[in-house]
Structure 1
């Protein structure tokens, strides 16, 4: 009867994961547990260029902000120009995207645990303002790439990312026919294109004018409060559900031993 227990054991694992997937309760003003992130956000007066919006409260250091502006930075040895020179307007979006990833302290509601050599947390399905995605796509549609998912599948034999042998360089528009295809697919669904607009308080801006303050603080607060309300209904049920599943597992094990 051992084969009958496998689905149940998988369900036990799933329940355990759902009940304890994210023990972190601090959803506001936090840094991810990742390769170049600070432990806690704080002021960084000399952040470089596109990272300046986060200078008052950042999860990145000055050195990180400087390094990520290079065409092939030492942060991840990632080469933007893997299919020829990327257009400057396109590259600007990727630098802003990297600044956002490294520097933002407003991603708590979307942080998930991962088991990767270079990070223990990532963000998933961040509601990106629709204008930010549209501009990213429009400014990159004539630049070239060879892949739809930049998180994996590269040829790293040279020490930097190169196109796999079975791919060809085509325009971004070929690989990403819509704005959503680009913004949601390129980093394994780190972003989810929102129907909301910039300034609505309901979507995250990848970049903002620092003199006007950080609009993402309000957005993170809104989603953190919504999540806290939802979790209050789910979490109390976890111990009871898990205990019932474990009891069923024990009963099946006991009965199997009689055969």
Structure 2
């Protein structure tokens, strides 16, 4: 049932995106204040305050609802979809690595500033409809994440496509390939860019780049300016023009593709 809800909700969102771009140039508003469709019960269409959210950075403006990260904080597992300590050598993450993944997970699920990088997820990812791609993250953020996880184990260098997910949760195809992260990721850039299939692009700190967390109570959101700059670039690029028949054809093709993978 959850999969079907996600499927049709995702189709509606996709159609809305197509229609928004079909009749003329997109404005920056088409890319800002936009959320990914992930788990229907925890996703929002547009960001809004979320009191009690476990991701403190995004309490004041969030794309997710309270409880979205559970039970990651206690079980190191996200929604029985992603098991982070998936190799037999360790049952839990080291505290410092756990915290880095928590901040990255909060950013992925809740950030209100990822709109310009949202794309459609692969049909193989049946639970989610959207993902983001090539979001610029600061090199120092990447380095801190990588350094915190040196003693963790994995069996693949791509967590989007490198697992057996037939049971609904990520499992290693071959546990004999379980090695510490540095053996799969030779440096921090390799780790940050490859682990989630190019969701992130590492850039120098003196270039526009994102932070996973920041002190939101100060009223300073360093990620907003990065998103606004990217939205301006996208709004001046070529737009998609479709007539009604083309829109229906695209919608039908998407629906058939999704149904074949349910």
Question: How far off is 1:66 after superposition?
Answer: 4.1
Report if aligned partners of 2:93, 2:152 keep a CA contact under 8 Å in 1. Answer: yes
The structure-2 alpha-carbon separation of the partners of 1:66 and 1:78, relative to structure 1 and needing over 3 Å to count, comes to closer
SS at 1:112 equivalent:
strand
| 1:41 aligned onto 2:50 | no
Kept in 2, the 8 Å contact 1:125–1:192? The answer is yes
Residue 192 of structure 2 corresponds to 183
- TM-score norm. by structure 2 comes to 0.72
Partner secondary structure for residue 211 of structure 1: helix
SS at match of 1:95: helix
**How far did residue 114 of structure 1 move?**
3.2
SS of alignment partner, residue 46 of structure 1 = coil
Query: 1:106 is paired with a residue of what secondary structure?
Result: coil
Task: Verify the 8 A CA contact 1:22 1:112 in the aligned structure 2.
Answer: no
Deviations 1:107-140 (A, max 9, x none): 1111112353222221100000110001111111
Q: Indicate yes or no: 2:157 matched with 1:151.
A: no
| C-alpha separation in 1, matches of 2:239 and 2:121 | 21
SS in 2 for 1:38: strand
Q: Which residue of 2 aligns with 1:136?
A: 145
Specify whether residues 74 and 149 from structure 1 end up closer, same or farther in structure 2 by C-alpha distance, changes over 3 A only.
Answer: closer
SS in 1 for 2:221: coil
Instruction: Tell me if the contact between 1:53 and 1:214 (Cα under 8 Å) persists in the aligned partners.
Output: no
**Residues 188 and 21 of structure 1: is their aligned pair in 2 closer, same or farther, counting only changes over 3 Å?**
farther
Distance 1:74 1:144 in 2: 17
- Point out the structure with max Rg over C-alpha: 1
Cα 1:158/1:124, change in 2 over 3 Å: closer
Matched with 2:223 is 216
Among 114, 130, 134, the alignment partner of 1:121 is 130
RMSD of aligned residue pairs (Cα, Å): 2.4
Counterpart in the other structure of 1:79: 83
With normalisation by structure 1, the TM-score equals 0.73
Q: 1:103 to 1:68 in 2, by over 3 A?
A: farther
Q: 2:136·2:209 contact (CA, 8 Å) conserved in 1?
A: yes
Q: How many pairs does the alignment contain?
A: 211
**Offset, 1:22:** 8.3
| Number of the residue aligned with 1:91 | 98
In the alignment, structure 2 segments of 5+ residues that lack a partner are 1-17, 243-262
The aligned counterpart of 1:160 is: 169
Listed one character per residue, the Cα deviations across residues 198-245 of structure 1 (whole Å, up to 9, x for unaligned) are: xx6x1111111222332111111111112223x1xx338x78xxxxxx
